[in-house]
Amino acid sequence: MGEVYRARDTKLGRDVAIKILPRAFTTDPDRLARFEREARVLASLNHPNIGAIYGVEEGPAAGPAAFDAAQAGDAGHHVGEQVRALVLELVEGETLADRVRRGPVPVREALAIAGQIADALDAAHERGIVHRDLKPANIKITPAGVVKVLDFGLAKGGAAGMDEAGLASDSPTIGGTREGTILGTAPYMSPEQARGQAVDKRTDIWAFGCVLYEMLTGHVAFGGATVSDTIATILEREPDCAALPGNVPQAVRGLLHRCLEKDAKRRLRDIGDARVELDDSRASDAVSTAPATRGTRRRTLSWLGAAAGLAGVVAAVWAFSTNAVDRSFPITRTTMTLPANRELDTVGGAAPLALSPDGRRLAYVARRDGRAELYLRELDAFEPKPMTGTEGAAYPFFSPDGQWVAFFADGKLKRASVLGGAPVPICDAPVVGRGGTWAPDGTIVFDPGDSGLMRVAATGGSPEPLTSQDASMDARNLSWPQFLPDGRALLATVGPGLFAEEGQDALAVLTLDTGQWHMLGPGSQAQYLPSGHLVYHALGVREGELHVVGFDARQLALRGAPFSVLDSVFRARGGGAAYFAVAQSGALVYAPGGLAHTLVRVDRNGRRTPLSDDRRGFRLLRLSPDGRQLAVTIDPRPSQIWIYDIARGSRIPLATDGHNMSPAWTPDGKRVAYQSRGDIFWRTADASSAAERLLARDRPQYPASWSPDGRFLAFHDDHATNRTDIWILERDGDPRPLIATPASELNEKLSPDGRWIAFSSDESGRSEVYVRPFPNVDAGKWTVSTAGGHSPVWSPDGRELFYMSRAALMAVSVDIRGSSFVAGTPARLFDGPFDTTQNANYDIFPDGMTFVMVEADPDARPTRLQVIVNWSEELSQLASAN
């Protein structure tokens, strides 16, 4: 496909790889189209496990790229001849093919490598891109163990136009583009690819299975003396499963069968599901100890495929349909992928999942084209069904018999039968709180959205406050209620305050007949399992982490110490709900994902370069004035602030005690102001001195921008009315309001000359970017954005303003003459998979040409669910080990 050279980028001081189209192909329109398509494919992908592209160049051949064409049979380039080249990330290390030549890869190492390959393919498939030539030679492993998938020269799909230029993308081919030839590498071709039929992402899944098999055994899954022999083997034979090591987990054997299913319709449909199987297998101690014999390999593969598929789930659901935990039944895992163009609801921090007590039914709220709707999934069925009349639904929960689903919508609490029919209103609920629960006696308790809890009969009526002996508790922010199975006590989450030193939510249980509260400890969303455990969302540790602790349901007290059971559970933005639910049968369902964002440098054309290998919950970041350091807020909450040294690749903690966020550098770059537990502090950027409080008030305030002379600090604050105003704090002075209206103003940024302040406001009904003079803000106001925008940032010379509009970074030229301000027409610079919330999640380097952005976690859009049947048995095993 091309000649590849190691090269030095003298402008940015880094080594790169240069891929040049051979001279013999420069006049071949198909080869040219394929070369250009590879550039577009790579430009559309940005993933730590995919080799990146830095640019496309065209110019006269010189140096080692130019040599006499006769020496290479007309393959080389003459000096001065035009050369087309891709500038690529230089990936050090050996290829996977080199590694396999030394022998089989140990099982645990092979599964780790395969997991990273699956992540890379998942990112490509999300963009509609099929690699079509996945093989060990196109996979490199860096000295740090990072896997990089390379060479997308045969890729198809993705952005519009990628399959144009006369290449028949439905007729995959190797070598040329003449009709009837084959594109790819024979031992890794899927049956449909080998036949020259239409291919999709399932052809990559087949190749992934071949690569995994080869790592585990040390030889190819399908081989032959010639290409024709190899293709015949692919079409007619099964891989030799007896060659697999005896300690390959049964789930991985089943995964291989699903990947290497010759019928594409029966093959694994989503590579993301493979990653889940690999993760679970690596975490599990249960491994196969007896290799299959050659004579039984086909029966073994078929059986394992069935065990890993729907049949196992159906059997498990049937076994638990009596609501009794059967410890003899195996722990069973499966993945559910939501239908196309649907994802779990993430609006408002909701928890969109609920399992029926017997574990047979799953209710969830999903969005399609912006509309939320309640879906019911029988776990022994293939497809979910929308529940009639549930548009706008939120916070579903089941009745004790599993025949009804209650939910909030249209300012009411409603219930809908699992058998169908129109929902029945129960009561008014104009403000949606967080969750509800249904007792065996027909009482429903729910969070009304402000203070306390309300109760109402499931048959309907007027809700009444749920009171206890502690009036102060009744006035607290109580949420996520859940009745214990006998209905005599109620679990709830209590808003921050009881554990003030952590500033976190707390778990509590209320005895209903005595009205007495029992405090349990920090945490949120507690759910009870009859195995005698509470599972809950742990706060202040890894994002989306679930903990389990023993619980005596009679004494209403904890037993033993809590322990971690799961992390990277998807969590809604802004400290919202963790997406999980448990059933009294012992089943667990959760959405995988979490805050695993990355920091990237992006030029004005949208080309991205990683700034760090870290994958964390980055947000609210600011570059130091010299552009050498980055202050960034990191979730999970309570959030921390760290300082990254970009040049050295090091980092230090700046503020890690309590909840800290919203850093703002002083103009000299020596200190950083930030919010900590509601107050404004500042500290030296090297963390060599103790933090000092700059401002304390009765509500949270968020520092945003210093004036160039360091005299003023602009910040915004939170009102109880859910709006924000912009204030100014003068050094050694008192704070005063700067822009205070009935609307919300935030994201304030002072211009480099200190004469103007840019900010966003929703005064028009949507967020737009505005500019006012500073400090005399009443002397004028100009609208900068034209179709919505937020988070303005000035260019270092003050001649441009940037802001976010949906997923796009916009640029506006600025003409300032005296007291007059003129904004040009906004122009879109680039968009991408960036975190584009209302937070200030980007900044500009001093060169005025590149930006630092927060690249969103690819799992930030929850479209998959993991189901574990008999999970309570696994908990018992974990509890014994802890």
Whole-number CA gyration radius for the chain = 30
**Is residue 629 located within the same domain as residue 684?**
yes
If you count them, how many residues does the chain have?
A: 882
- DSSP secondary structure letters along 752-765: TTSSEEEEEE-TTS
Distance CA 294, CA 310 (A): 26
Distance CA 209, CA 135 (A): 10
Mean pLDDT to the nearest integer, 861-866: 80
**Is residue 784 located within the same domain as residue 876?**
no
3-state secondary structure of 273: helix
Mean pLDDT to the nearest integer, 864-882: 78
Predicted confidence band of residue 882 (pLDDT cuts 50, 70, 90) = low
For residue 790, CA distances in Å to 36, 150, 160, 762 come to 35, 37, 29, 10
Question: Do residues 388 and 422 make contact, with C-beta atoms less than 8 angstroms apart?
Answer: yes
Whether residue 133 lies in the annotated active site: yes
**Is residue 540 located within the same domain as residue 679?**
no
322, part of any domain: no
**Is residue 256 located within the same domain as residue 344?**
no
Question: Do residues 843 and 851 make contact, with C-beta atoms less than 8 angstroms apart?
Answer: yes
**Is residue 410 located within the same domain as residue 457?**
yes
CATH number at residue 62: 3.30.200.20
422, part of any domain: yes
For residue 725, CA distances in Å to 440, 658, 721, 747, 751 come to 47, 24, 11, 10, 19
**Is residue 67 located within the same domain as residue 130?**
no
Q: Could you read off the pLDDT of 809-834 as tens digits, one per residue?
A: 999 999 987 788 999 999 999 987 78
Distance CA 541, CA 521 (A): 15
Q: Could you read off the pLDDT of 368-381 as tens digits, one per residue?
A: 877 889 999 988 77
**Is residue 239 located within the same domain as residue 129?**
yes
Question: What's the pLDDT at 72?
Answer: 40
Mean pLDDT to the nearest integer, 672-686: 93
The range of the structural domain enclosing residue 41 comes to: 1-90
**Per-residue pLDDT for 397 more than 50?**
yes
319, part of any domain: no
Q: Could you read off the pLDDT of 768-803 as tens digits, one per residue?
A: 999 999 999 999 999 999 989 999 999 999 999 999
- 338 against 593, higher pLDDT: 338
Question: What's the pLDDT at 280?
Answer: 76
**Is residue 641 located within the same domain as residue 588?**
no
Question: Tokens standing for 65?
Answer: 């790229």
Sheet holding 745-750, edge to edge: 745-750, 756-761, 768-773, 782-783
314, part of any domain: no
The predicted model scores a pTM of: 0.48
CATH number at residue 775: 2.120.10.30
Q: Which of 9, 98, 119, 133 is catalytic?
A: 133
Q: Is the dihedral of CA 141, 145, 147, 148 positive or negative?
A: negative
**Per-residue pLDDT for 176 more than 70?**
no
**Per-residue pLDDT for 722 more than 80?**
no
Predicted confidence band of residue 527 (pLDDT cuts 50, 70, 90) = very high
Number of domains in the chain: 4
For residue 487, which phi and psi values (nearest 5 degrees)?
Answer: 80, 5
Compute the mean pLDDT over every residue in the chain, rounded to the nearest whole number.
82
**Is residue 833 located within the same domain as residue 867?**
no
Distance CA 356, CA 76 (A): 68
Tell me whether residue 307 is exposed, middle or buried, using C-beta atoms within 10 angstroms of its C-beta: 0 to 12, 13 to 18, 19 or more: middle
Q: Could you read off the pLDDT of 417-445 as tens digits, one per residue?
A: 998 889 999 999 988 788 999 999 999 99
Sheet holding 557-566, edge to edge: 524-529, 533-538, 545-552, 557-566
18, part of any domain: yes
Q: Map tokens 């706008």 to a residue.
A: 392
For residue 96, which phi and psi values (nearest 5 degrees)?
Answer: -65, -30
How many DSSP H helices and E strands does the chain contain?
12, 59
**Per-residue pLDDT for 282 more than 60?**
yes
Question: What's the pLDDT at 674?
Answer: 96
Predicted confidence band of residue 638 (pLDDT cuts 50, 70, 90) = low
567, part of any domain: yes
**Is residue 496 located within the same domain as residue 362?**
yes
End position of a domain, from candidates 74, 90, 106: 90
- Per the DSSP assignment, residues forming a β-bridge with 635 are 617
Mean pLDDT to the nearest integer, 319-335: 56
Buried b (16+ CB within 10 A) or exposed e, 434-460: bbbbbbeeebbbbbbeeebbbbbebee
End position of a domain, from candidates 275, 308, 341: 308
CATH number at residue 237: 1.10.510.10
762, part of any domain: yes
Q: How far does CA 687 lie from the centroid of its chain?
A: 31
**Is residue 551 located within the same domain as residue 696?**
no
**Is residue 376 located within the same domain as residue 407?**
yes
End position of a domain, from candidates 308, 343, 374: 308
152, part of any domain: yes
